[in-house]
Chains A and B, each alone.
Chain A
Amino acid sequence: MSPTLAGVLQASVLVGALAAAYRPLGDYIAHLFTSPRHLRAERGLYRLVGVDGDADQRWPAYLRSVLAFSAVSVVFLYFFQRLQSHLLLSLGFPAVKPDMAFNTAVSFVTNTNWQSYSGESTMGHLVQMAGLAVQNFVSAAVGIAIVAALIRGFTRSRTDRVGNFWVDLTRVTVRLLLPLSVVFALVLVASGAIQNFHGLTDVHTLVGGSQSITGGPVASQEAIKELGTNGGGFYNANSAHPFENPNPFSNWLEIFLLLLIPFALPRTFGRMVGDNRQGYAIVSVMALFWVASVSLITLFEAQHHGVAAQAAGAAMEGKEQRFGIAASSLFAASTTLTSTGAVNSFHDSYTPFGGGLTIFNMMLGEIAPGGVGSGLYGMLILAVVAVFVAGLMVGRTPEYLGKKLGAREMKFASLYILTTPAVVLVGTGVAMTLPGERANMLNTGPHGFSEVLYAFTSAANNNGSAFAGITVNTPWWNTALGLAMLFGRFLPMIFVLALAGSLAKQQPVPATEGTLPTHKPLFVGLLSGVVLIVVGLTYFPALALGPLAEGLN
């Protein structure tokens, strides 16, 4: 079989599997968001925690709950790492130092999973599974909860209530993420991912040398790492490590898992707004960008431009033999188009344009399909902008799904769109002006700049992957990127919830002759154009200095 055909088949089977899951999973999530019934265990939980599961919240109350839960999580995770040496299963590792503990706590709570540490030499088993992996679940659930609130903004009218955060959080965690994780963790174990509580096992190798084989609850963490678009690896090498990702099948499964929920959520949206075609339009735009990105990255890696790749004869530096070019490129495109940031190959060694596209994918705001929840709310904000742009062309107040998009709504949408680029570009700019921080690049010239640009793009978009040559384990980098992750996660959430509240208050207007249909190919084209122009072009100058300069040289 030719490599091209194999690559196409691999992606096609993935598309087929995602398409098969689209309706049942999307409908199931819609059910979780709309069902008035609680499970008995959930009612018990709400009593224990002290919240009223039947009370709907106004958007500020919903936001306060999100922020309180996240703040408590950061503090808890920080002290968990600081006290590691006193805990069980620490494997003898000392306390994580303060700046790194701050960075890591923020990183996992914001669903970024940026790793300034190396898992196998820093974190004991208990911190990994009861600290970091817990946030893999709940940070994903927070993202999905926010999009639930936004969708309710479209579906409800003349109310100031957008749902109950505690109920959304609990249902998504207990009824969606946990059961899927149990099943897929066991599939991963069966295919070779390890799952034990061993420390290091010393063995004598075949030639009589020594090797220390690591242990740990890896598969259980791996499943939710992909499913929740988290990306924080048990090991430094992340999904390139054979214990996390043992073979081409597990690799395909991990890509499937990280795309599963983000690609099903448009169905949830269509279902809840009462018009499945709206979901199809949104998922079409997501799929368009995903297919284009996968094709281009695979093409660039197969062509292996770059002096080093040419000298080697293939772009295999930083890639695993069992995956090869196609399966590595497919992973790279999928992980940067979602907020996952897991890697099965090292993007720093990708060809200039292949690696540049991984940066561009994140810059689009991770909306194709994006992180769990965050991808859909990002795309819906852009849909609002697209409708607004179309409204300007014909000179009438635009409406989306019967809700008028006035000055107030557009202010929130604009603020959302401006936040991430501001964090990325200001952060990159500041780092480049500081000679000491700039010196942390591994590579030189435009590629070194790309490392810095990648770092801030990844942090502010809550991706977590890296051009990993850069040394980020210093107090300055840990703090700066920690702040970028916080701003990049929570400021947009505030604007989304504010928009949800504002939409929910409105009385829907009936569709007229002049209403732009938002389920037709025309809208798919319009929205794709807005994504490219409004978001993509913002970063053009920065990209010109990094990957474009390197690739065109």
Chain B
Amino acid sequence: MAKPLPTVLRTHLSALRMLLVMTVLLGIAYPLLVTGAGQAAFHHQANGSLVQVDGRTVGSSLLGQSFDLPKKNPDNADEQARPDPKWFQPRPSAGGYDPTASGASNLGPNSADLVKTIQQRRAAVAAFDGVAPSRVPADAVTASGSGLDPDISPAYAREQVTRVAKARGLDRDAVARLVEAHVQDPVLGFLGDARVNVLELNKALSTLR
């Protein structure tokens, strides 16, 4: 008759078997169940809330994207991105709106680098939009947590109206009305902050005549 295994070994074998069963249940069955149910019931959300224009996917309404002019030289990695005046601009991003590199600047509240960057951004936005530097709101000069923030504050959207209308040769009031139609209030009036989804706004803008 085989000798019974020592207790220590038996405990570890039980632990391993328990882990394997749990892995099948929690690591395979559970995500498959949620995926199946999620895909069936909430297909659009489960696949990233993709946005279509003329049948072409242009991005996700949940992920911010850049609205820059084409580079003068596509091979020059150092070339400074220049915002396109015809579009509403998103917040600064620590990762250049690359979904494979989400994240924040992590610069501290007294960081000299951050102070300098904020001052530069304020001057650049004010000049670009033709407004006084004091009118540039905080979200326009700070990088978001995710680097993929899809939203800007209503204040920043309104601040860009004149410039966008001028660049597109549109009536300023029509653009202003479009912005107001895209302001999302806090959920139930008290959850989160008021915001404007930049991709949705620009998509609507592209059809404005």
Contact = CB atoms under 8 A, between A and B. Distances in A.
Interface of A: 1, 5-7, 9-10, 13, 45, 48-51, 64-65, 68-69, 71-73, 76, 118, 120-121, 129-131, 133-134, 137-138, 166, 169-170, 173-174, 178, 181-182, 185-186, 189-198, 200-201, 203-209, 211-215, 217, 219-221, 235-237, 240-243, 246-249, 251-252, 304-309, 311-325, 327-328, 343-346, 348-352, 355, 442-445, 447, 450, 467-469, 550, 553
Contacts of A447: 108-111
A242 B148 contact: yes
Contacts of A343: 145
A193 B45 contact: yes
Contacts of B193: 248, 321-325, 327
Given A186-B38, A197-B35, 13 more contacts: A69-B19, A120-B100, A173-B26, A186-B41, A204-B57, A206-B53, A237-B103, A246-B49, A311-B115, A320-B149, A321-B144, A321-B193, A468-B103
B100 A9 contact: no
Interface stretch (B58-66, B164-172, B174-182): B58-66
Nearest to B102: A237
B109 A121 contact: no
Contacts of B115: 307-308, 311
Contact of B30 (A131, A220, A235, A442): A220
Interface string B176-197: 0000000000110111110100
Contact of A213 (B25, B63, B111): B63
B139 A72 contact: no
B118 A308 contact: yes
Contact of A350 (B50, B109, B141, B187): B109
A447 B206 CA distance: 45
Interface in B39-84: 39, 41-42, 45-50, 53, 56-60, 62-63, 65-70, 84
A261 to B, nearest CB: 17
Contacts of B103: 118, 236-237, 468
A48 B151 CA distance: 52
A203 B97 CA distance: 13
Nearest to A246: B62
A350 B111 CA distance: 11
A200 B105 CA distance: 24
A195 B38 contact: yes
B202 interface: yes
B31 A220 contact: yes
A166 to B, nearest CB: 7
24 contacts: A6-B191, A10-B191, A45-B18, A65-B14, A120-B102, A131-B27, A133-B31, A134-B19, A169-B18, A197-B35, A201-B57, A205-B58, A207-B69, A236-B102, A249-B187, A249-B191, A307-B112, A317-B142, A322-B150, A346-B145, A349-B104, A443-B107, A468-B103, A550-B109
B19 A138 contact: yes
Contacts of B21: 45, 48-49
A201 B63 CA distance: 13
B28 interface: yes
Given A212-B98, A327-B191, A220 B34 contact: yes
Contacts of B50: 203, 213
Interface string B125-146: 0000000000001110111111
Contacts of B137: 313
Given A72-B19, A169-B18, A307-B110, A237 B45 contact: no
A6 B18 contact: no
Interface string B1-29: 00000001011111111110111011110
Contact of B23 (A130, A444, A450): A130
A182 B30 contact: yes
Complex A-B, nearest 10 residue pairs according to Cβ-Cβ distance, in ascending order: A248-B192, A306-B109, A324-B193, A130-B27, A240-B145, A469-B106, A314-B138, A237-B102, A346-B104, A242-B62
Contact of B45 (A190, A252, A315, A469): A190
B130 to A, nearest CB: 19
Contacts of B141: 311-313
A550 B107 CA distance: 14
Chain B interface size, under 10 / 10 to 19 / 20 to 34 / 35 or more: 35 or more
Contact of A344 (B58, B122, B145): B145
B45 A194 contact: yes
Contacts of B109: 304-309, 315, 317, 349-352, 355, 447, 550
Contacts of B108: 306, 308, 348-349, 355, 443, 447, 450, 469, 550
A207 B87 contact: yes
Interface of B: 8, 10-19, 21-23, 25-28, 30-31, 33-35, 37-39, 41-42, 45-50, 53, 56-60, 62-63, 65-70, 84, 87, 91, 97-112, 114-115, 118-119, 122, 137-139, 141-153, 186-187, 189-193, 195, 199, 202-203, 206
Contacts of A324: 192-193
A211 B145 contact: no
Most chain B CB neighbours (cut-off 10 Å) among A242, A246, A305, A311: A242
B158 to A, nearest CB: 14
A247 B62 CA distance: 9
B47 A130 contact: no
Contacts of A6: 186, 189-191
A316 B139 contact: yes
A350 to B, nearest CB: 7
A374 B66 CA distance: 44
Contacts of B122: 311
A163 to B, nearest CB: 16
Nearest to B81: A209
Nearest to A75: B16
A325 B139 CA distance: 11
B27 A213 contact: no
Contacts of A345: 145
A318 B105 contact: yes
A190 B45 CA distance: 6
Nearest to A441: B108
B133 to A, nearest CB: 11
A69 B15 contact: yes
A248 B105 CA distance: 22
Contacts of B37: 186
Q: Which of B13, B48, B141 has the most CB of A within 10 A?
A: B48
Given A50-B14, A206-B199, A306 B110 contact: yes
